Structure 1
Amino acid sequence: MLLQKFKIKSMSLLTFNLLLAIWLAAVLNVPFYERMQSLTPHTGIKSSLFIAASVGVLVAAYTFLFQILNWKWTAKPIAIALVFIGGFASYAVSSLGVLITPDQIQNLMQTDISEAKDTWSWHLVVWTLGMTVLPIIAILMVKFKPEPILRQIVKKGIASVVSIAIVCSLLFVFYVDFAAIFRGNRDLKGMISPQNMIASFISYYKKKAPKENLPLVTYGTDAHRVINTSKPTQPKLMVLVVGETARAESFSLNGYTKNTNPELSKQNVISFAQVSSCGTATAVSVPCMFSGMPRKDYDERLASHREGLLDIAQRAGYKVTWIDNNSGCKGTCDRVHKFEIPAPLKQKWCDAEGECKDEVLVDSLKSYLASIPAEDKTPQLIVLHQMGSHGPAYYKRSTEQFQPFKPMCSTNAIQGCSRDELLNSYDNSIVYTDHVLNQVIQTIKDVPNYQTGFWYLSDHGESTGESGMYLHGAPYAIAPIQQTHVPMIMWFSPAWQQHNATEVSCLQQQKQALRSQDNLFPTLLSMLEIKTQVIDDKNDMLKQCATNPDGKA
C-alpha cells in the first residue's frame, strides 16, 4: 500500500531499460573507468573521449541485452536481481579493490559466519542503502505505460539495432585502444559489475564447485618409514603451522624495518626469504600445498577427492592430528584425527561469537601432548591452522599486549583508515603471530622422548592498499607480490639436529633460494623419513644440496 501511494510517474519499458542500463553500466562501474583511464596513453580531450566511449559501449550493450530479457512481466524481477548483485559486486571492487573471479566466489562459498561478519561495517551499510536498497525501491515504484505488444516489439527491434550500431561504431573508432588494453589486462572484466559476479558464479559451478560422491583416489600407497635399526633414535614429532594471510615482506626476520618478530628472532630459526604461494586464497593454497601437485599442474577437482600429504604420513605410521582455529581444512584433513578444542580453552580464548585468538592453538597443543601416554612411541605430525592476520578486521588479530604499533585501524572498514593506521593494525597481527609461533616452539622444546621439529608456512599474503588493492584473492597471473610472497620458518630441537645434522645444514643453505609451497609435500615427507614413489625429488629441499651446494634448484 505504501509503494502504491508513492508510485512515480509511469514510463515506457524502453525508458526503464535505458535507465537501468545507465545505472548498471555507468554508476556502478566508476572504478572500472578509472582503471581504463590509467591504462590509456591519451590525455586531455582524447582521454575523456575514450572514457565516454567506454561508458557508451557498456550502456549500449546492456540496453541491447535488456531488449531481449526485459518484458513488462520480467523487467522488475530481473532489474532487482541485477541491482542487488551489481551493488555488492561494485562495493567489493570500488571499496576494497577486489577483482571478482571464480576464485573469489570459491572463497565466498567457503566462508563461515564468523569470517563474513568481519566484513560488515557502517560503510557497507551506507553503501547498501544508497546503491542497492533505494534503487530497488525505485524499481518497485515504477509503473509501466500500457503498450500494445506489437509496438513493444517494434520499439525493441529499433532499440536493439541502435544499440548494436553504437557498440560497433565505438569499438571501431577506438579499436586499437580497446584491443591493446584488454589484451594486456584480461583481469579488467573482473571489475565490470554485475557481469563479473554472474560470470564468475557460472564459471565456479562449471569448474570449481565440489562434486558429490566422487570416489577417493588413493595416492602414495607404497609409503613407509625408513627406520635405522642399527642406530635407534627417538621418534619424530613435527608441528606444522599453516599460517593465514601473512606476507613475507612484513616479517622483520626477512628484513622488514619494523620489529615484527621480537620473539622468533631470539630462537635458532631458519627463515626462508623467497617463498611463493600456490594461490592467493585459502581455498586454493591449502589444498594445493597438501596435494603433492605443483602449482603449475594443480587440479583442484582431483585434489578434492585424492589422498594427500596427511593421508600418506598416516599410512606410513604417523599419528596425524589437525587442530583448527580457522574455517576448516578445505578437505585436507578429512581422513585424519581432528582434535576438538576443549570447552575451557574456548571460554578462555574465544569471544561470544566463537572467534578465538590463536593462543588457543598453543593451549590445545599442550592439552593434546599431555594426552599422549608416556609409553607411546608413535611418531607424530600435528597441524595447527591459524586465524593469523585474516582481514579486514586486523585489529582483532592481536591482543593489547602485542600491539606495539600505534595508531591502529580499529575497524573493519579499512578503506576509511589512513595508510599508517592500516599497516600498524596488520603489523600488530604479525607481532601476535610471532608470539604464538614462539610459544609453539617453547612448548615442543620440552617434549620428552621425541625429536621435535617446527615448520611454519602461510597460505597466502595480503594487500593493504598497494596500488589500490586490499585483502587477497586476486588472479594469480596479475596478483601483486604482497599476495603471493609468503613467510616460511623452521626450527629443530637439539635432538633433531643431532640425528639429522646434514639435512638441517642443507636447509640452512637455502634461506635465500627461490622456494614455494610446492616444496612442502616432498620435503616434509622426507624429513619424516617417509619413502614413496610420489615424492618429486626436484621439489624436495633435502635433495638440493647434494648437487647444488648453494641450495638453488
Structure 2
Amino acid sequence: MLNTFSLLKKKIPPISLGMFNLIVVLWLSIALNISFYQKIAKLTPYSGLKAQLFLAATVVVVIALYNVLLQLFHWRWNAKLLASALIFIGGFSAYFVSSLGAVISPDQIQNIMQSDAREMRDLTSVRFILWSIFLVILPIGIISQIPIKKEPAPKLLLKKLLHIAGSFAILAGLLFVFYVDYAAIFREHRDLKGMLSPQNTIASTLSYYRHRAPKQDLPLVAYGTDAHRTLPASPAQKPKLMVLVVGETARAESFSLNGYSRNTNPKLAKLDVINFSKVSSCGTATAVSVPCMFSGMPRKDYDEQLASHREGLLDIAQRAGYKVTWIDNNSGCKGACDRVEQWQFPAELQKKWCASNGECHDEILVDALKQYIAGIPEQDAAPRLIVLHQMGSHGPAYYERSTAPFQPFKPSCDTNAIQGCSQAELINSYDNSIVYTDHVLSGLIHALQDDPKYQAGFWYLSDHGESTGEHGMYLHGAPYAIAPAQQTHVPMLMWFSPEWKAQNAQQMACLSAQKSQELSQDNLFPSLLSLLGVQSQVIDPQYDMLKNCAPAKAGT
C-alpha cells in the first residue's frame, strides 16, 4: 500500500491549497454524512422537486460551512495533518452514526472515556474494519500524497478571503431562503447536530472537557455524617443481608413480568417477587446512571462533578454499621464503590465462568455470592449490603450474554456486527440475554433462600435500557431528552425472605402497593437506606418508597 501511495504521489501534479481544501471539504461534507442527509430528507416539509432542492441546499450549506473553517485553519504547512485528523475523527463518528444510529453527544464521549478494552473490542467487526480501511485509512493515505504547491502569501490570502466571502454569501442566501424550515427542523430535532461529522465529535468532546470531565484531586465531601441504624436487633433476631444487583442494558419492555409477549422470565415468575413496571433511569449509559443512582441526587438536580468527589449511598450504609461489599462483573463502579470492599473473583471461579478474553458469564455472580456468604465467620453478626454488578445484556455482542441452555429464541444474531442481522435475529439474541438474566437473578434469590443466618433482601435495578433498531437506533447513550423509552424504561424488582417479611410486614404491603406507580432510580438511595433501617437527614422523603409505611420494627 505504501508503494501504491508513493506512485500516486509521483503521478499527481501539485495543486493549490484552495483545491486541496475543496477535496477535503467534499469528502467530509458528503461521503461521511449520508445518514445526516437521509434524516434531513425525512424531515423536509416539502415533496417532489422542492424537497430535492431543499436537500441539495442542505448539502451546499454544509460544504460552505466546512469550507469557511478549512480556509481559516488550513495552511500549507499544516493542511495535511489537520485534514487527516478531521478524516480520522469524522470517519469513525460517521461509522457510529450511520451503522448504529448513534447521536454523538457529550454523554457518548463520556462513555468512550470510561470504556475499557473489552468494551471497545466488542464494537470491532468485519464491517468496522472495512469501514476503517476504506473511509478512514485509504482517504488519509491519499491526501497525504497530494502535493500542495507554494503560493505567494498575498495571493494566498486573497484567495482565502474570496473563498470565505463566497462561502458566507452562499450560506446567507440559502439560510435566508430556507430559514424558517431549518429553524423548525433543528428546534424540534436538536439531535441532528449530533449526526453531522466530524463537528459532532469535536463539539461534544470540547463540551465534555469543559463541563463533565472529572476534576483531579478534589477533596472528598462528607455526606450523611449523621447516618445511624435504628435500635440494634435482639439476640434472637437475625441480622439483615441486602443484595443489590445493578443490571446492565436491560429494558423493561423485554421482561415478560412487565407484559412482554415472550416468556423471558420463566424462573422469576415462579418466585414471590415484587415487580415494579414503570421505572425510569437517571441516564442512558452506565457512566451516568450508576454514579447518579448512588449519589443521593435526583436526576433533575444531578451534578456529575459533585458526585465524583462526594460520599454516596455505600459510604452512608457503611457509616451506619453495614459491612458493604461490591462484586463486579462489568467495567467497574464508576466511583460509587471507591471506599468500600471490592471483592475479587477467585481463580477457580474465573476458570469456570470466564473466557480467554476475560469476559465472564453472570453465573459467576451466583457462585461468588455463595462463596462470599460461606466465608463469613460464624460469630460475625454484622449486617451486610452486597452490590453485584452484572454484565447483563451489554451489546452489541448480545449472543455472548447467554449460554446455550438459555437461548430459546432462534435464529439469533451471532455477531457483534448487528447491522447485518435481521431485526428478528437481533431481538432473539437480545431476548436470550434477558432469559439468562432471569436465570441468574433467580439463582441469586435461591442462594439467599438457602442461607439460614440472615433475614435477606434482594433488589434488582438495571442501569439503563437498550435500542435494538427501533427508530433506526442501536445500543444506548442517546441524549436523555430525545432518548426512546427502550433506553430509559428499566426493569426493577425486589424479593424478601420470610424472616424479613415477618419483621417488616407493613413495609411489604407498602412496596407491593407501588408496583404500578411511576418510579425511577431516584428512589434507590432513600428507599434502600430506609429498608436497611438507616436514618439520616440526607434521606429525602419525597423519593423514599417507604414514606407512607408505618415505622418498621426495630432491626439491624
Cα distance between partner residues in 2 of 1:388 and 1:342: 21
Aligned to 1:154: 158
Cα distance between partner residues in 1 of 2:166 and 2:550: 70
Name the stretch that deviates more: 31-40 or 258-267: 31-40
Equivalences for 1:185-264 in 2 at 5 Å? 185-227=189-231, 233-264=237-268
Deviations 1:247-298 (A, max 9, x none): 0000000000000001100100011000000000000000000000000000
Cα distance between partner residues in 1 of 2:207 and 2:233: 54
Equivalences for 1:64-83 in 2 at 5 Å? 64-83=68-87
Whether contact under 8 Å (2:325, 2:343) holds in the other structure is: yes
1:349 aligned to which of 336, 347, 353 = 353
Aligned to 1:335: 339
The Cα shift of 1:546 comes to 6.8
Aligned to 2:388: 384
Equivalences for 1:304-453 in 2 at 5 Å? 304-453=308-457
Aligned to 2:554: none
The Cα shift of 1:188 comes to 0.9
Aligned to 2:8: 6
**Aligned partner letter, 1:227:** L
The Cα shift of 1:231 comes to 8.9
Cα distance between partner residues in 1 of 2:29 and 2:286: 32
Residues matched between the structures, number: 547
Name the stretch that deviates more: 206-215 or 450-459: 206-215
**Aligned partner letter, 2:260:** Y
1:274 aligned to which of 274, 278, 285 = 278
Cα distance between partner residues in 2 of 1:546 and 1:26: 64
Equivalences for 1:52-201 in 2 at 5 Å? 52-201=56-205
Equivalences for 1:473-552 in 2 at 5 Å? 473-544=477-548
Aligned to 1:17: 21
The Cα shift of 1:505 comes to 0.8
Cα distance between partner residues in 1 of 2:187 and 2:252: 31
Name the stretch that deviates more: 464-473 or 200-209: 200-209
Q: Secondary structure at the match of 1:539?
A: coil
TM-score w.r.t. structure 2 length?
0.97
Deviations 1:121-145 (A, max 9, x none): 0000111111101111110110113
Whether contact under 8 Å (2:249, 2:464) holds in the other structure is: yes
Cα distance between partner residues in 1 of 2:337 and 2:148: 56
Deviations 1:82-137 (A, max 9, x none): 00000000000000000000110110011111111000000001111111011111
Name the stretch that deviates more: 321-330 or 360-369: 360-369
Cα distance between partner residues in 1 of 2:356 and 2:126: 21
Q: Secondary structure at the match of 1:541?
A: coil
The Cα shift of 1:10 comes to 2.3
Aligned to 1:550: none
Q: Secondary structure at the match of 1:6?
A: helix
Cα distance between partner residues in 1 of 2:8 and 2:21: 21
Deviations 1:397-417 (A, max 9, x none): 000010000000000000110
Cα distance between partner residues in 2 of 1:479 and 1:216: 33
Name the stretch that deviates more: 230-239 or 110-119: 230-239
The Cα shift of 1:31 comes to 0.8
Cα distance between partner residues in 2 of 1:117 and 1:402: 24
Cα distance between partner residues in 2 of 1:228 and 1:113: 46
Cα distance between partner residues in 1 of 2:45 and 2:439: 48
The Cα shift of 1:544 comes to 3.5
Cα distance between partner residues in 1 of 2:220 and 2:94: 40
Q: Extract unaligned runs of 5+ from structure 1.
A: 548-553
The Cα shift of 1:25 comes to 1.0
Structure 1 pair 162–447 and aligned structure 2 pair: CA distance change class (3 A):
same
Aligned to 1:456: 460
Q: Extract unaligned runs of 5+ from structure 2.
A: 552-556
Cα distance between partner residues in 2 of 1:33 and 1:185: 14
Cα distance between partner residues in 2 of 1:248 and 1:213: 38
Deviations 1:314-333 (A, max 9, x none): 00000000000000000000
Whether contact under 8 Å (2:226, 2:536) holds in the other structure is: yes
1:293 aligned to which of 294, 297, 308 = 297
**Aligned partner letter, 1:317:** G
**Aligned partner letter, 2:475:** L
Cα distance between partner residues in 1 of 2:463 and 2:146: 49
Cα distance between partner residues in 2 of 1:546 and 1:453: 19
Q: Secondary structure at the match of 1:372?
A: coil
Aligned to 1:265: 269
**How much is the aligned-residue C-alpha RMSD, in angstroms?**
1.2
The Cα shift of 1:230 comes to 6.8
Cα distance between partner residues in 2 of 1:469 and 1:40: 20
Deviations 1:378-433 (A, max 9, x none): 00000000000000000000000100000000000001100000000000000000
Deviations 1:56-102 (A, max 9, x none): 11100111111111111111000000000000000000000000001
Aligned to 1:551: none
Cα distance between partner residues in 1 of 2:251 and 2:26: 40
Cα distance between partner residues in 2 of 1:20 and 1:174: 26
